[in-house]
Amino acid sequence: MTALSLAICGCATQKNGNPLLSEFDTPYGIAPFSKITIDNYREGMLRGMEEQKAEIEAMIDNSEEPTFENTIVALDRSGKLLSRVRGTFSPISSSNSTEEMRALQKEMSPLFSAHNDDIYLNERLFARVKAVYDNKQALNLTAEQKKILENIYDRFVNSGAELSDTDKARLRELNKEISMLQLEFSQNLLYETNNTFVVANSIDELKGLSQANIDAAAKMAEANGEPGKWMFNMQRPSCNPVLQYCENRELRRKVYEAYYNRGNQGNEYDSKEICARLVALRLEKAKLMGYNNYAEMALENRMASTPAAVYDLLMQVWGPAVAKAKEELDDIRAEIRKEGDDFEPEGWDYMYYLDKAKRAKFAVDEEEICQYLEINNVMQGIFHVANKLYGITFKEITGDIPAYEPTAKAYEVIDKDGTTLAIFYSDYFPRESKRAGAWCTSFRPQRYENGKRIIPIVVNSCNMTLPNSEGYALQSIDNVETMFHEFGHALHNFMRDVQYSSASGVERDFVELPSQKNEHWAFEPEVLEVYAKHYKTGETIPMELLKKIQESAKYGQGFATVEYIAASLSDMDLHVLTEIPAGLNVMEFEAEKLAERGIPSQILPRYRMTNFSHTMGGGYTAGYYSYMWAEVLDADAFDAFKETGDIFNHEIAERFRKYVLTPGGIDDGMIMYRNFRGRDPKTDALLRNRGL
Ligand SMILES: [Zn+2]
């Protein structure tokens, strides 16, 4: 590893020509993506770790008494190079991953794990942190300073700083193996999503699909050496239309089974064993840290606090949701009979006949609605809402700006006082190198440097429906909701304003509040009138169609709620285990538990364990429930606007910005929510919204 021996100084940077090693000399300090090679990333990460290690050594060797400045602030500010390199590498590795990048991720994963442990299991460093922490009453700190002191102290304790040497050594091994397995899981899933194909040999099998979907499938077949056929992969824009619209029951079955069996095909990308091993290692870690199970440990620093509180919320909604799903199944059976058939519906019939039932009940035609949901128009609607609420504006940057992907667009986000608040990238379309799903991330989070606010660079990355042959990307209602959702995360990132990085994070089950809250505006009549324009004629969506969207919005919530709660329960069930059953098969375990709770056989968890990246890839482990936890808050928060009769009520929006979006994590989520609302959240808005 020659990179480690390079001198850490500016000259080496210049000679070396690695753009990651110095501040980016580009507009807005955006990474010069096209100039960064894989070796640059490797060198940057290795040197970043070295640099931070040296900073930590200097802190420990400091002969002065530990103070807030020389210990807590110094820690908060350390690792600048590493943050810059990882801040660039990490988003790219999700949305523009190459084989080289995946190999580098694998190479780095154990090193990062060890690096992290070198910091948080360092006894001399912890002794200094503890000295400051024990003296905190005498320090006269601001609220934010107090919070980062607590956060940093907690992070040491939660990382095992108080364990014996033997336990620390075991913990290091566990951390390393867990991070490796999570990465392997994610890489398997990416491969399976893009490379599991269902092929149709005859156009007769495609009846019911739109011409755009048929064209896309033909293109995919051609690209994969099967010209003249039609292929679907397991990205939602490719496989969902089959489940929803395709008349051919056999093709629907093939797609359905392939989709839910990603990671469970007995091939080299099968993740069943990885899942079982992960669950066992996480439990061992939790026990080492003094907890009964992993969920207890994960929940300690979240709003929900205990597994019991999570089950309580989920089970409150489970009963009404299953009842609703059974009503929907009756509608589905009626639709099947209408067509002169008499079979019992299966999982692959659900979306298809539910869509028919919806059309019959509300006379809605999703495909007709899609014509009013062209992606650029939707974008304008999203910007309009943000402008009406917060007074911020958006200017597309078209000139010389580093682009990591030609179809991504960049915007300057301008605050109401004219200052630049953030840079926003929208990267909406699928490609092979992009992982499935939708997410918000940043190349650079907001921070302060020498008293100056460094603006965040935020990305929304999604897998929306691609443009049709005429160049128009027409979206489904679900996709539009997703765009509003991810933009809600982006707003949180734009507006955060904290002095210290260690104060920027919020509780896992608070994260979805800003995003889900933003969804509430998507289909309000005042908003649809602005953006829902016919892609060809520019005509505004007719009142009648708009009403239908509103009326039908709650239809299908039985299915949506059951599949979501089922996944949340499976995530919890595996992580409240206090002992791992011999030869644990996660798929069987999940199915048994859900059957005990009376899940209708036609509904599977939204993600089955081998394709459940939230929990097995890390990030939302024992945390998938967070969406519903936050939904209690977002539904109640939107009510605050509704109650005034003005969904753009400026005063309420300002309160939301001030108490929820701006403070980062300087307070507990529930305290911030109460500051905004003036009271505790109530669950009735959630049930009402879901029509349960
Ligand atoms: Zn989200």
Q: Is 148 found in the same domain as 48? A: yes
Q: Which residues surround ligand 1, an ion (CB under 5 A)?
A: 512, 515
**What is the extent of the structural domain holding 213?**
196-260
pLDDT higher than threshold 80 for residue 5: no
The answer to whether position 219 is within a domain reads yes
Q: Is 226 found in the same domain as 116? A: no
Q: Is 101 found in the same domain as 58? A: yes
Whats the size of the chain, residue-wise?
692
CATH code, domain carrying 72? 1.10.1370.40
| CA dist., res. 433 & res. 405, Å (int) | 11
Which among 431, 394, 434 is positioned nearest to 416, based on CA atoms?
394
> Of 260, 284, 307, which closes a domain?
260
Distance 524 CA to ligand 1 centre (A): 20
The answer to whether position 290 is within a domain reads no
Distance 542 CA to ligand 1 centre (A): 31
| Average pLDDT across the chain, whole number | 93
Which among 418, 432, 423 is positioned nearest to 459, based on CA atoms?
423
Q: Is 138 found in the same domain as 29? A: yes
State pLDDT tens for residues 397-454.
987 788 888 889 999 999 999 999 999 999 999 988 888 889 999 999 999 998 999 9
Distance 486 CA to ligand 1 centre (A): 6
Distance 415 CA to ligand 1 centre (A): 23
Which among 238, 446, 468, 244 is positioned nearest to 353, based on CA atoms?
244
pLDDT grade for 6, boundaries at 50, 70 and 90: very low
> Of 137, 161, 185, which closes a domain?
161
pLDDT higher than threshold 90 for residue 607: yes
Q: What pLDDT shows up at residue 546?
A: 85
pLDDT grade for 16, boundaries at 50, 70 and 90: low
The answer to whether position 585 is within a domain reads no
Q: Is 60 found in the same domain as 118? A: yes
Q: Is 92 found in the same domain as 31? A: yes
| CA dist., res. 556 & res. 324, Å (int) | 8
335: annotated active-site residue: no
How many domains in the chain? 2
Q: Is 209 found in the same domain as 152? A: no
% of the chain at pLDDT higher than 90: 86
Q: Is 202 found in the same domain as 84? A: no
State pLDDT tens for residues 645-677.
999 999 999 999 999 999 999 999 999 999 999
The answer to whether position 157 is within a domain reads yes
Distance 437 CA to ligand 1 centre (A): 10
The mean pLDDT of 462-478, rounded to a whole number, is 92
The answer to whether position 225 is within a domain reads yes
Q: Distance of CA 173 to CAs 179, 238, 309, 598, Å?
A: 10, 40, 32, 40
Residue 660 or residue 683, greater confidence: 660
Q: Is 26 found in the same domain as 141? A: yes
- Check 184, 284, 328, 486 and give the catalytic one: 486
The answer to whether position 41 is within a domain reads yes
The answer to whether position 489 is within a domain reads no
Distance 489 CA to ligand 1 centre (A): 7
Q: Is 58 found in the same domain as 207? A: no
> Of 226, 242, 260, which closes a domain?
260
| CA dist., res. 353 & res. 339, Å (int) | 11
pLDDT higher than threshold 60 for residue 115: yes
The answer to whether position 13 is within a domain reads yes
Q: Is 236 found in the same domain as 130? A: no
Q: Is 229 found in the same domain as 96? A: no
